[in-house]
Structure 1
């Protein structure tokens, strides 16, 4: 039974559950990202792993820029490698079993971290191993969600990945502030070790969800693919073969798979110009790189240190404020990306984020925030306004696009390459930020401000509007020579006048069906994209 209807089409509770469970991969990502900022300032962690001029006196302990950068950034090296191996793993094992396997890898990394005693290199290597699991999940989860979610709510369900990233960051901040005064190593071992719980929830829970219908169809398991589609639509297995919605979607998937089966796609195929494959590979890598270059992780990785420098007595609390803004505003981002499409929010978000980073950098550069508390407060407000815009646009938007931009044969590999680009810049920002900040201080914000403007330009010139249409139709749109990025919001499959006409015809078809008059002629006789 359908839980509710969108654009006149049924949506089942399984579609919501699979999005939430798979998004635990994003939660793990966010939790691991958020905890390190506060752990770096914990007394026991400093005494064990930092350099102390007077042994046992925490006030004399500090990390060198190299050591701090490696502890933070080795996670990103692991995620970079994990993102690249995530594609063949997901293609070989299936999307669900791949995610379960990656949770095991993450758990091994956590165990290595919490068993560290006085050797900082062991802790860093543990983050590297955990990063392998996180990176592979970051490639598999958005792909699984995009391939399995009904097109009418694909944007919202895929955006839950980013929502859970922000939730993970916020939970990490809250746990860290609760454990920071616990005597001994429990202050940092507890927040790190709790990560195993999140991996168990995802690794076990995802096995109860349906497999991607597109992966099943690609492996000749069309009956199972039909049942998978039916479950997300709130239909019983008995209804799977008879309901016109499942018949229509499976036929579309089947024709696309058969069309692509003749060519076995390898890594090199991601860089071929046919069907704009190279175009989309470079676009995905660019968008993921630019998401990192917005400057968000400057605040998430080093926010506690930054706000300590502007004279705040409790930078942990400021981190929680930023984390809360990030989490709450992501709910708005889910609505924005579904209501206004993909292009407009990313363009507006890039401009908004740039403006507030200019304010942040200018305020910190013009006056010393330590001696002028009002300036410090302005910088915090600027950071919050930046995070607000980021959480509403670029944070969820890019992950949605990675799941729905690429063609089926190379989707996993292109998703991995794009995600690897994200983690490459993640590493560069995490490792070099201590050096850059010490050299140019808050003028670092100007660099990110310019990158945000560049992101808005890239979206306008190169990104196609992929909301409200199936993944197979997205592929058609990119290969239509008459469609341009700035006109793509009007594109629709052959036989429809516009995107809005397509949405209205689909809604009318379902209403006609629900009224008991059978499947309308417009849905039964209209040719599929592959037949045109």
Structure 2
């Protein structure tokens, strides 16, 4: 039975469960991102891996810019490679088995880290290996969620990936504040070692979820695809073969895949101008680049260090406040992206984020925050308001778009290229931030403010509105020469006057009632049914 209805159409509990479970891949990413900021300022970690002018005196210990940058940023190099490898692995093994293998890789990296004694290089290599798993998951999870989720709630379900990233960051902060007073290596080894739990949950649990119906259809496993569609829709599996709604979704997938399979799909196909493939590849890579250039990871990677520099006595507590704002506001982001589409939230979010980064940078440049308590508080408030906007718009929005912008035939590779762009810029920012902040201090915020405004402009001129459409219809929209990004909100497939009419036709299909509008579409499936009967 259906768990509930959206726009009059049924949604099964399996659709929610698979999205939430797959989002543990985001939790793994967030936990690994959040832990390093606090680990870098733990006493035992500093004594073991930094340079100390007086051995045994933590107050004389500090990381060089290169060492600190490599410890933080090598994870991003691993994720970049992992994202590119994730595409062929997900296509070959299937989305579920690929995630299980990638969880195993991540656990190997955790093992390398916690067995480190005095070599910061070994710890950094462990983060590199973990990055292979995180990067592959970052390509596979949003793709699996988008391919499996019903169109009516695809945005919300895909956004759970970002929600779990923020949850992972917050949990890492909370665990770090609880372990920082443990004597010896237990302070940081406990934080890293708990990282074993999350991939076990995902790697084992995902095996009990259905495979992506689009992947099954592409491999000719139509009966399994029907069952998956029925399960996500809350339709009894025994009715899947004869249920019109299931039949219609499967036929739409088959038609799109058969059309796409006429040409061999490879990496080169992602860069061909035909059917807007190159356009969408570059758009995805650009959006992922600007998600990093919003400046969010400036706070997540180096937050503890930043807040120490503005005179905050307990930077761990401030990190938790920032993480809580990020996590809490992402719930609002899920609603915003589902209610208002993709374009408007990203444009307004870019402007909002730019404004508060400008305040952050201007305040830190005008006065010394270590001696002016009011300025320090203003900078923390502006950072929280920046995170508020980011969590509501750019954080979930870009990951949603990675799952729904590309055609089925090249989706894995284009998503991998786009995600690799994210990780490349993630590495560049993580590695060079210590050098940049030493040179220009808080004026770094002005750079991010300008990038946010540029991202908003790019969304307006190049991103098509893909909410409420099936993945196959999104592909049709991008290939329609009469549709422009700024007019795409009103676009609907041929035979429909608007997207509202398309939704109404889908409701009628579920209720087994023909509509006057969209009748040609309905009769096409009826004709197909008649041919099968004959």
Between the aligned partners of 2:506 and 2:516, the Cα distance in structure 1 is: 12
Counterpart position of 1:358: 358
Of the candidates 501, 521, 532, which is equivalent to residue 526 of structure 1? Answer: 521
Counterpart position of 1:12: 12
Counterpart position of 1:72: 72
Between the aligned partners of 1:528 and 1:21, the Cα distance in structure 2 is: 38
Counterpart position of 1:152: 152
Between the aligned partners of 1:406 and 1:390, the Cα distance in structure 2 is: 24
Distance 1:529 1:426, change over 3 A: farther
Structural mapping, 1:308-457, within 5 Å: 308-457=308-457
Counterpart position of 2:189: 189
1:207-266, CA deviations, whole angstroms, 9 ceiling, x for partnerless residues?
011100110011011111111111100112211112221111001001111111121210
Q: Across the two proteins, how many residue pairs are aligned to each other?
A: 526
- 1:504 matched to 2:499: no
Contact 1:3 1:12 in 2 (8 A): yes
Between the aligned partners of 1:529 and 1:25, the Cα distance in structure 2 is: 40
1:316-359, CA deviations, whole angstroms, 9 ceiling, x for partnerless residues?
00000000000000000000000000000000000000000000
Between the aligned partners of 2:398 and 2:181, the Cα distance in structure 1 is: 38
Counterpart position of 1:491: 491
Counterpart position of 2:276: 276
Between the aligned partners of 1:505 and 1:262, the Cα distance in structure 2 is: 30
Counterpart position of 1:41: 41
- 1:205 matched to 2:200: no
Structural mapping, 1:50-199, within 5 Å: 50-199=50-199
1:397-446, CA deviations, whole angstroms, 9 ceiling, x for partnerless residues?
00000000001111000000000000000000000000000000000000
3-state DSSP of counterpart to 2:481 = coil
Distance 1:527 1:282, change over 3 A: farther
Between the aligned partners of 1:528 and 1:366, the Cα distance in structure 2 is: 68
Contact 1:490 1:500 in 2 (8 A): no
Counterpart position of 1:253: 253
Between the aligned partners of 2:210 and 2:489, the Cα distance in structure 1 is: 31
3-state DSSP of counterpart to 1:5 = strand
Deviation of residue 520 (structure 1)?
A: 5.8
Contact 1:70 1:124 in 2 (8 A): yes
Task: Give the alignment's Cα RMSD to 1 decimal.
Answer: 1.4
Distance 1:498 1:523, change over 3 A: closer
For structure 2, list consecutive stretches of 5 or more residues without a partner in the other structure: 528-534
Counterpart position of 2:532: none
Counterpart position of 2:217: 217
1:188-224, CA deviations, whole angstroms, 9 ceiling, x for partnerless residues?
0011011110000000000011100110011011111
Contact 2:508 2:514 in 1 (8 A): no
Between the aligned partners of 2:284 and 2:395, the Cα distance in structure 1 is: 14
Contact 2:244 2:509 in 1 (8 A): no
Deviation of residue 527 (structure 1)?
A: 5.7
3-state DSSP of counterpart to 1:526 = helix
Counterpart position of 2:531: none
3-state DSSP of counterpart to 1:252 = helix
Between the aligned partners of 1:333 and 1:459, the Cα distance in structure 2 is: 17
Distance 1:188 1:67, change over 3 A: same
3-state DSSP of counterpart to 2:521 = coil
Contact 1:349 1:389 in 2 (8 A): yes
TM-score scaled by structure 1?
Answer: 0.97
Deviation of residue 499 (structure 1)?
A: 1.4
Deviation of residue 492 (structure 1)?
A: 0.4
Contact 1:7 1:506 in 2 (8 A): no
Distance 1:471 1:528, change over 3 A: farther
For structure 1, list consecutive stretches of 5 or more residues without a partner in the other structure: none
Counterpart position of 1:31: 31
3-state DSSP of counterpart to 1:184 = coil
Between the aligned partners of 1:175 and 1:529, the Cα distance in structure 2 is: 57
Between the aligned partners of 2:334 and 2:395, the Cα distance in structure 1 is: 10
Contact 1:509 1:523 in 2 (8 A): no
Counterpart position of 2:298: 298
Counterpart position of 1:460: 460
Distance 1:43 1:233, change over 3 A: same
Distance 1:89 1:333, change over 3 A: same
Between the aligned partners of 1:361 and 1:236, the Cα distance in structure 2 is: 57
TM-score scaled by structure 2?
Answer: 0.97
Contact 1:509 1:522 in 2 (8 A): no
Contact 2:495 2:518 in 1 (8 A): no
Contact 2:496 2:517 in 1 (8 A): no
Deviation of residue 522 (structure 1)?
A: 6.1
